[in-house]
Amino acid sequence: MYCANCGTALGPGLSYCNRCGFNLREKNESNTGVISAFLTAITVLGTVGLAIMLFGAIVLRRKANLDPQLIGVFMMFTFLIISVTEFMLLRTLSKLTGTKESKARSLPPPVTNDLRLPRASNLGEPVPSVTENTTHTLEYVRRD
């Protein structure tokens, strides 16, 4: 198993990545209820919109005796309103479903070779501590 954040190989039973500290526990929050609600809304809106457009044109022609050009304008505006609303719903749905995919695409590839050479540092050798070797070099002197 590999870390989803940094790609480090992981042992079984870990809750956090040893290298980057990423939370490895699965989250139980799912958007299936929201996604199904959006799909239902898109389907219902499309069906009802087409029904309003077609049966509205029939009713306007038979009962109101309107000019066919005016009925065509009514159908065009109804179609535009339904289309814009469907587009906005589809855009919101794609944002909900696209979040996991975009995170998965932005992850670095998993590291397969753990036998890497140490990287050279531009800082040079570390400065030795002031207290280094002090306890080893002290000699006790007896005073007479």
Is there a single domain that holds both residue 49 and residue 11?
no
Domain presence at residue 96: yes
Is there a single domain that holds both residue 9 and residue 38?
no
Kindly tell me if the per-residue pLDDT of 77 is higher than 90. Answer: yes
Long-range own/partner contacts, residues 119-126 (CB < 8 A, 24 or more apart): none
Long-range own/partner contacts, residues 2-8 (CB < 8 A, 24 or more apart): 2/110, 2/111, 4/104, 4/107, 5/107, 6/108, 6/111, 7/107, 7/108, 7/109, 7/110, 7/111, 8/111
**Cα 4 from chain centre:** 13
CA 88 to CA 93: how far, in whole Å? 9
pTM score: 0.48
CA 35 to CA 43: how far, in whole Å? 12
pLDDT band (50, 70, 90) for residue 83:
very high
Each residue's pLDDT tens digit, 34-60: 888 889 999 999 999 999 999 999 998
pLDDT at site 28? 47
Closest by CA to 94, choosing from 130, 140, 42, is 42
Is there a single domain that holds both residue 14 and residue 38?
no
Q: Is 22:3 a contact under the CB 8 Å cutoff?
A: yes
Please tell me whether residue 119 adopts helix, strand or coil conformation: coil
Q: Is 38:93 a contact under the CB 8 Å cutoff?
A: yes
Is there a single domain that holds both residue 59 and residue 41?
yes
pLDDT band (50, 70, 90) for residue 26:
low
Mean pLDDT of the chain: 77
The range of the structural domain enclosing residue 3 comes to 1-28
- Give whichever of 17-21, 56-60, 105-109 has the largest mean pLDDT: 56-60
Domain presence at residue 122: no
